[in-house]
Structure 1
Amino acid sequence: MVLAKITDHGLLTDQTGRDSRIAGVFCCIPSGQADKNGSEELSNGTLIPFKNIVWVEGALNESAEITYIEQQDSRLKIRTIVAEVTGSQQSNEPGSKSSVSQLMALAYANSEPKKSVIVFVNPHSGKGKAIHLYKHDVEPVLNAARYHVELVKTEYTGHATEYMKYVDIDKYDGVICASGDGIPHEVLNGIYSRKDRVRAFEKLFIAQTPCGSGNAMALSCLGTLKPGLATLEIIKGHTVRSDLMLVCSKSSGPRISFLSQTYGVIAEADIGTEWMRFIGEIRFDIGVLLNILRKKQFPCRVAVKRITNDKKELSERYKSQYQQPGVTTQLDEDALKPKYFDGQLFDDDRLPAGWEWLDDNVTQNLSIFYTGKLPYIAKDVDFFPAALPNDGAIDLVLFDGRTQVWRSAHSLLQLDKGLHVWHDHVDHLKVESLKLVPMLEKGRTSYISVDGENFPVETIQVEVLPGVMKTVMNDGRYKDSGFLAHIG
């Protein structure tokens, strides 16, 4: 048994000669995160941050058994100690029960413990490593936190969609996708297809622990690409209601999108290089480079219902929205219905009130059309630095294909810091809704990508669905994109 004291910052323990038990070892993380994510060694003991404590229960002689996450030698470990806890607030409960109750309340100050979740694992994600990552990095953390897990290994494309259409949502608190970005897309569309979709969206949180090649949701919302650390963030993070997007076209009904829609160079580099998937993420960089060097253009028309007119307005809106409280209004069926799609697209010659066509001189010579709701679409790709979780807007970025190759390349080399949007040949605006009309010459093939999935090259309408998705975020906001620091 060790001595422990509750402090303002965590549980201070004297573990000299301790006999603690290691429940599992998982997830390498950078040593630079030790102070934030691990235990801090003090001169008079070890401070275990409340965030790292995942479970507490009573033990013999009014002691408490405490399970927590510890960093040691740049690795995260699950440890369990039995401690005599002091410093707790006055309570009518017996000693150990009082300590247990207080520690659990402090450990789960921003969340609730012992949830029941569906975990989808795509065995093919991450070049076939998803199962291994789940078993070694994710599952030990969920078990330590006493989560009830319904594990579903997807067997075919659309499996998660079909599963979520009919699952009994009353049994669960949320869904964790141990995968890339494809499974969250399926999960959300499965929920959208339900008859009780309003209640399902209100009840279930949707989160991703990064086990695939594309992990935009985990990186943007949880701030990490380490599956074990992401799982801890899911357990301890703030629940936030974030916007989704609804994509409508002639060939399919309304389809939920949480990440992006793209046409042009990015879509060609993503979908068009699927045959090179065996070489890993570098296939995307190769695809972009080849298309930029060839100065490929993708003519189209783009209509929008604007929120901002220029980058000055964009910056002002970002500053005003950044500190705004999250969505608190209750969902209803109207919030999930499209405003501008009644089974067919609106006529190009009769735009709805408030809509306008963007400059044809730009869109007829476009190299990149990209819309999104998350700041990071991949590691070191801060494509939408002004994106916010629930500002009721879609971020739209357009690259003019007439720009000199070196200027295009220079802007793309600044994607890691989100500085590309400040170049003159790049338009960045926020819109409520938009319409993309591809205008490729006859016989030319290309791609449209929705959340990284291949979509027919045809006219699409996209509109924002404010505050629909319940998810989890580190500190209740996206990973810092650097945009606020840049605009001052």
Structure 2
Amino acid sequence: MADSTPLIAEEALVDGNPSTVTLSASGRIEWRGKSSGCLSVDADVLGYAAEGSALRIRAFVKKSGGCCCGHKEVVRERRDVVLEPSSEESLGLWCERLRQCIDSLARPQNLLILVNPYGGKKSASKIFQKEVAPLLAAADVKYTLEETQYRFHAKEIAHALDISKYDGIVCVSGDGIIVEVINGLLEKEDWPTAIKMPIGIIPAGSGNGMAKSLLDSVEEACVASNATFAVIRGHKRALDVATVLQEETRFFSVLMLSWGIVADIDIESEKYRWMGGARIDFYSIVRMIDLRHYNGRVSFVPAPGYEVYGNPVSEQEESLSRLNSLSKSEKQCAYLGPMCSFEPQEWRTYDGPFISVWLHNVPWGSETVMPAPDAKFSDGYLDLILVRDSPKLALIETMAKLSDGGHVKSPHVLYLKVKAFYLEPGQRANETDKGGIIDCDGEVLARGQGTYKFGQQQDLMAYGPPIYMTVDKGLATLFSPK
């Protein structure tokens, strides 16, 4: 129960009106008089400043009606409350008590801000100046600003960062920059300390799945101002990190991995960027009409309660036995992945062909697509969404329900949670000279022969050799709405 013990109680002017004003030990400011109201230091207050004989309390409060575009999502607006205490001594006491309340919240004081000026609609710099910077200034939060200049620049910055200088890293971008930051931190020699650095995400890209997942968890609108306030408040939550391994090559994922129709739509639709956001809808229809099936195999260690899915794997399965010995023998001068070991009998498997293989770490893949409605930020599992076969009309109906997670109820969709995952990607079922695309956190991880931009750029992994994924529960830390 919140402590309602009054720290200050007096007669004062609030916005020019005589009022009885109190500040409780729980950080609640309340006034009653001609007009009445209240503020929570934690949930509403950005900062304060003494102005002559008055105190200006800078707040970011829920907007009247508290909704966005007809939905129940909370939106906020800036509001200042001007308090004129009864004396100079009282003004000093108000400043002292408010400072004590804010300091007790362990809010960040100095941040590294990374802005990706090229992502999405190339509006991140404008979003920062217009929506983010004013809130940071109102909260007296200092920051160092850097714009990323090229792919993996954010990873380089994070890898070289002196983490003792900052209380957190904030990414003003889509999902790509946070992925780069986490990969950079985990490649540092002091990664056990570095990965504890809280990371904030301000939606300014084309996807914004991580920001949407965070804000939607508390029914707040996925807008830059709400996300910035979440950083300012300083609340944190743990985030699972998946290690994606192909032989000696590693990548650390925090959002998703896809193979099949979802990856094809995401990556191949880039040729239609001139269409704006409509490119995804347009190319989804193209791919569902000209539907591809991919040969291959997926194996997984199911989470408790999901053991009925899949078929048993032979104890003589050479590749899975090798994985066990690999995870037992390698450890660890820098972060290589979680220490885990699974017996062959724990693994289950499905053989293709597949329409879609999709793993998710958080509920939302973008602001409008929720692939994994049951995903948790730090449960130690990945949510696996499989479509092995489906009539085209049923598939169109299923894909149309991605906006609210209703697709998981389709009889053509398998939805389960897994501890570990093993992908053996193959060729297209009817075009055996062509492979597929593996998309991880919005970037191409590997692409097969005959795919979009095959051979035009170097990808991190090869298409064909198996890819192994394991999860480290709660390894990273995010700034999060309470």
**What range is the shorter-chain TM-score in?**
0.7 to 0.9
Write the letter of the residue equivalent to 1:427: L
Alignment partner for residue 230 of structure 2, among 230, 233, 242?
Answer: 233
* Displacement after TM superposition at 1:384 (Å): 0.5
Alignment partner for residue 187 of structure 1, among 163, 166, 181?
Answer: 181
Counterparts of residues 215-364 of structure 1 (less than 5 Å):
215-223=208-216, 224-236=221-233, 238-250=235-247, 253-308=249-304, 310=306, 336-338=335-337, 352-360=343-351, 364=352
Alignment check: 8 A CA contact 1:78 1:144 kept: no
Partner residue in 1 for 2:455: none
* Displacement after TM superposition at 1:274 (Å): 1.2
Partner residue in 1 for 2:323: none
Alignment check: 8 A CA contact 2:295 2:427 kept: yes
Partner residue in 2 for 1:447: 437
1:465 aligns with 2:472: yes
Distance 1:454 1:423 in 2: 28
Partner residue in 2 for 1:120: 114
TM-score (norm. length: structure 2): 0.77
* Displacement after TM superposition at 1:143 (Å): 1.2
* Displacement after TM superposition at 1:471 (Å): 0.6
Alignment check: 8 A CA contact 2:113 2:146 kept: yes
1:174 aligns with 2:174: no
Partner residue in 1 for 2:56: 65
Percentage identity across paired residues of the two chains: 25
Distance 1:72 1:464 in 2: 39
More helix by share: 1
Alignment partner for residue 95 of structure 2, among 100, 108, 112?
Answer: 100
* Displacement after TM superposition at 1:255 (Å): 1.0
Partner residue in 2 for 1:160: 154
1:371 aligns with 2:363: no
RMSD of aligned Cα (Å) = 3.0
* Displacement after TM superposition at 1:409 (Å): 1.8
Alignment partner for residue 474 of structure 1, among 463, 476, 481?
Answer: 481
Distance 1:337 1:6, change over 3 A: same
Distance 1:72 1:429, change over 3 A: closer
Post-superposition CA distance 1:109-145 (Å, at most 9, x none): 7x42352111111111221111111110111111111
**Secondary structure of the corresponding residue to residue 100 of structure 1:** helix
Post-superposition CA distance 1:129-167 (Å, at most 9, x none): 111111101111111111111101011111101111111
Distance 2:36 2:367 in 1: 37
Partner residue in 1 for 2:23: 6
The range that moved more, 258-267 or 439-448, is 439-448
Partner residue in 2 for 1:486: none
Distance 1:340 1:46, change over 3 A: closer
Distance 2:177 2:128 in 1: 14
Write the letter of the residue equivalent to 2:262: I
Partner residue in 2 for 1:382: 370
**Secondary structure of the corresponding residue to residue 390 of structure 1:** coil
Alignment check: 8 A CA contact 2:380 2:471 kept: yes
The range that moved more, 234-243 or 100-109, is 100-109
1:45 aligns with 2:45: no
Distance 2:332 2:55 in 1: 47
Post-superposition CA distance 1:420-464 (Å, at most 9, x none): 112221111111111111111542142111100011142211110
Distance 1:162 1:284, change over 3 A: same
Distance 1:310 1:76 in 2: 41
Distance 1:96 1:199, change over 3 A: same
1:133 aligns with 2:104: no
Alignment check: 8 A CA contact 1:54 1:145 kept: yes
Alignment check: 8 A CA contact 1:392 1:465 kept: yes
Alignment check: 8 A CA contact 1:261 1:370 kept: yes
Alignment check: 8 A CA contact 2:299 2:350 kept: no
1:415 aligns with 2:375: no
Aligned pair count reads 408
Distance 1:308 1:189, change over 3 A: same
Distance 1:167 1:340, change over 3 A: closer
Partner residue in 1 for 2:10: none
Alignment check: 8 A CA contact 2:426 2:435 kept: no
1:56 aligns with 2:48: yes
Structure 2: which 5+ runs fail to align?
1-12, 69-74, 310-330, 448-462
Distance 2:63 2:122 in 1: 28
Distance 2:108 2:241 in 1: 28
**Secondary structure of the corresponding residue to residue 249 of structure 2:** coil
Counterparts of residues 26-41 of structure 1 (less than 5 Å):
none
Distance 2:126 2:84 in 1: 37
The range that moved more, 46-55 or 113-122, is 46-55
Runs of 4+ in structure 1 off by over 6 angstroms are 71-75, 332-335
Instruction: Flag the structure with larger Rg.
Output: 2
* Displacement after TM superposition at 1:96 (Å): 3.4
Structure 1: which 5+ runs fail to align?
15-41, 87-92, 314-331, 476-488
TM-score (norm. length: structure 1): 0.76
